Amino acid sequence: MTNKTLYEKLIDQHVVRKLDDEGHVLLYIDRSILNEYTSPQAFSALRDHQRPVRNPGTILLNIDHVNPTRPERDEAMTDAGGQLQVDYFRQNAEHFGIELFDVLDPRQGIEHVVAHEQGLVMPGMVIAAGDSHTTTYGAFGALGFGIGTSEIEHLLATQTLIYRTLKTMLVTVSGELPFGCSAKDIIMALIEQIGASGATGFAIEFAGEAIDALSMEGRMTLCNMAVEAGARGAIIAPDEKVFAYIAGKPQMPTGELWQQAIAEWRDLRSDADARFDSRIAIDCSDLEPKVTWGISPDQASAITGRVPDPAQEKDAVKQQTLRSALKYMGLEPGTPLAEIAITHAFIGSCTNGRIEDLRAAAAIIDGHKIAPHVRGIIVPGSTQVRQQAEVEGLAALFVNAGFEWRQSGCSMCLAMNEDVLAPGDRCASGTNRNFPGRQGAGARTHLMSPAMVAAAAIAGHLVDVRKFMTAEV
């Protein structure tokens, strides 16, 4: 009998060599996904030293950050900088013999949606990629984490990384998710509770009945956004739901190999007496739909709440932090959150751009029109999600309600293409980051679930989604 956490087991299985007594190891990496934005210098360094990529078959190059999402798709980027990045990315794919999902590829999309669609994520894997939301893969019982450009170079050259093992945090979520709430509200509640750096230095394991009950999409939302609490890894022990979801995906084993794989994957769980460095318990039965009112993901509250009053804050530093958040957000203390008017509504991103998110939004929008002063934009997480939404009639429903229905990419999640807000714009956003300028210089972001965004788009202001729901929705 061992007493290890799932995280420790995955690390143990991937350690090539222990490097010191401070927790540094040489870690074997099973898979990597690179985007056009964070990989160029890594490739340049390999070229300078005339090094090959050690195992090109384990890498995928995928364009998502800078590509336009205008409905009529072509290969051209909007600006010269983006075009340069994409052109170099294409050259690197060719030069190093690595598969590329280019803009017009039917498999293209945001990397954290594409990866599992293509069956690249399997339980037990360690996946390091040039993007912080690689934590998403924890939903499949894989350890995923983001790496910087020099680490990408090391990984490409050696298939390994110098890695510092993390402390472990068990987040147990009990209770039944209430009406109107989703995985987004659970993760926003956790971040609000522990703070935007509350899990820095930790790998989180999520467990408990509310996690078991979540769909795969919900689990991905949860693990994806765990990085906004500082976690460089968030993992859920794989169960039958995972196996059913990944079965038959491209690149998954089949037949006898598949049977062997799931037999091994069923053992991927923390031991009953595993020791965690930290434990957090959340009862989700009294959650209410969440929104952020500030410039950090932990500056959040239930939609029934009000903009906080800095004067009530005794701690001078915290008071100043609050004041500057409200100044940037253009909000008055005490304003009911449900009275904050918006100019934009955005649904998309690797946090909430999957088919289930679009279905949740459509269920709210059905039969409504968006408020005349609101520009509503929906950017599916992948080309596959887009096609699926069209087949299901969701796209038509969005368009009839007044939304723009666009092609896939990161888009207004980080505004690196032409999908940029203007100073003073205020966006109800189903994304993951709300720091100043995230969606455009001087623009204001309120994070929330896609259903909440849909409701806000209709109302023209932040609003409690439960007002738009019948008990059956």
Work out whether strand 99-101 and strand 234-235 pair parallel, antiparallel, or are unpaired.
Answer: unpaired
> Among ligand SF4, ligand IPM, none, what does residue 229 contact (CB within 5–8 Å per kind)?
none
| Phi and psi angles of residue 279, each rounded to the nearest 5 degrees, phi first | -135, 135
Nearer to ligand IPM, 38 or 159 (CB): 38
User: Both tokens of residue 35?
Assistant: 């985007």
Using CB under 6 A as the binding rule, whether residue 350 contacts ligand SF4 is answered as: yes
Q: Using the rule CB under 6 A, give the single segment among 11-19, 89-97, 127-135, 366-374 that binds ligand IPM.
A: 127-135
Q: Using the rule CB under 6 A, give the single segment among 5-13, 129-137, 179-187, 447-455 that binds ligand IPM.
A: 129-137
Nearer to ligand IPM, 145 or 468 (CB): 145
Q: How many residues does the chain have?
A: 473
Using CB under 6 A as the binding rule, whether residue 129 contacts ligand SF4 is answered as: no
> Among ligand SF4, ligand IPM, none, what does residue 169 contact (CB within 5–8 Å per kind)?
none
> Among ligand IPM, ligand SF4, none, what does residue 349 contact (CB within 5–8 Å per kind)?
ligand SF4
The Cα 376–Cα 189 span in angstroms is: 26
Residue carrying the six token digits 């709210």: 364
Q: Using the rule CB under 6 A, give the single segment among 77-85, 93-101, 128-136, 417-425 that binds ligand IPM.
A: 128-136
Q: Rounded to whole angstroms, what are the CA distances from 199 to 133, 193, 236, 259, 462?
A: 15, 11, 16, 36, 29
Site for ligand SF4 in 198-217 (CB under 6 A): none
Residue 137 CA, chain-centre distance (Å), reads: 10
Using CB under 6 A as the binding rule, whether residue 133 contacts ligand IPM is answered as: yes
SS3 call for 227: helix
Q: Which of 6, 29, 42, 110 binds ligand SF4 (CB under 6 A)?
A: 110
The Cα 5–Cα 168 span in angstroms is: 8
| CA geometry: angle 295, 408, 40, nearest 5 deg | 75
Residue carrying the six token digits 């952020």: 292
> Among ligand SF4, ligand IPM, none, what does residue 13 contact (CB within 5–8 Å per kind)?
none
Contact 442, 378 (CB under 8 A): no
Using CB under 6 A as the binding rule, whether residue 112 contacts ligand IPM is answered as: no
Q: Tell me, by CB under 6 A, how many residues bind ligand SF4.
A: 11
Residue 2 CA, chain-centre distance (Å), reads: 32
Site for ligand SF4 in 382-421 (CB under 6 A): 410, 413-414
> Among ligand SF4, ligand IPM, none, what does residue 110 contact (CB within 5–8 Å per kind)?
ligand SF4
Q: Which of 432, 434, 439, 449 binds ligand SF4 (CB under 6 A)?
A: 432
User: Both tokens of residue 33?
Assistant: 């996904």
Q: Which of 299, 343, 349, 352 binds ligand SF4 (CB under 6 A)?
A: 349
Long-range contacts formed by 105-108: CB under 8 A, 24+ apart = 105/383, 106/383, 106/384, 106/387, 107/382, 107/383, 107/384, 108/62, 108/63, 108/64, 108/382, 108/383, 108/408
Using CB under 6 A as the binding rule, whether residue 116 contacts ligand SF4 is answered as: no
Contact 472, 348 (CB under 8 A): no
| Phi and psi angles of residue 335, each rounded to the nearest 5 degrees, phi first | -65, 130
> Among ligand SF4, ligand IPM, none, what does residue 38 contact (CB within 5–8 Å per kind)?
ligand IPM
Using CB under 6 A as the binding rule, whether residue 354 contacts ligand SF4 is answered as: no
Q: Going edge to edge, which strands form the sheet with 375-378?
A: 404-405, 375-378, 344-347, 426-429, 444-447
SS3 call for 382: strand
User: How far apart are CB 224 and ligand SF4 at their closest, in Å?
Assistant: 8
Q: Which of 131, 153, 185, 228 binds ligand SF4 (CB under 6 A)?
A: 131
User: Both tokens of residue 176?
Assistant: 């039944």
Using CB under 6 A as the binding rule, whether residue 37 contacts ligand IPM is answered as: yes
Nearer to ligand SF4, 5 or 62 (CB): 62
Find out whether 350 is annotated in a ligand binding site.
Answer: yes
The Cα 292–Cα 350 span in angstroms is: 18
User: How far apart are CB 184 and ligand IPM at their closest, in Å?
Assistant: 16
Site for ligand IPM in 286-325 (CB under 6 A): none
Using CB under 6 A as the binding rule, whether residue 135 contacts ligand SF4 is answered as: no
Nearer to ligand IPM, 65 or 461 (CB): 65
Nearer to ligand SF4, 186 or 410 (CB): 410
Q: Tell me, by CB under 6 A, how many residues bind ligand IPM.
A: 8
E strands within 133-213? Answer: 143-146, 160-164, 167-174, 202-207
SS3 call for 25: strand
DSSP 179: T
> Among ligand SF4, ligand IPM, none, what does residue 217 contact (CB within 5–8 Å per kind)?
none
User: How far apart are CB 431 and ligand IPM at their closest, in Å?
Assistant: 8
Residues in touch with ligand SF4 (CB under 6 A): 64-65, 110, 131, 133, 349-350, 410, 413-414, 432
Residues flagged as binding site for [4Fe-4S] cluster:
350, 410, 413
Residues in touch with ligand IPM (CB under 6 A): 37-38, 65, 131-133, 146, 414
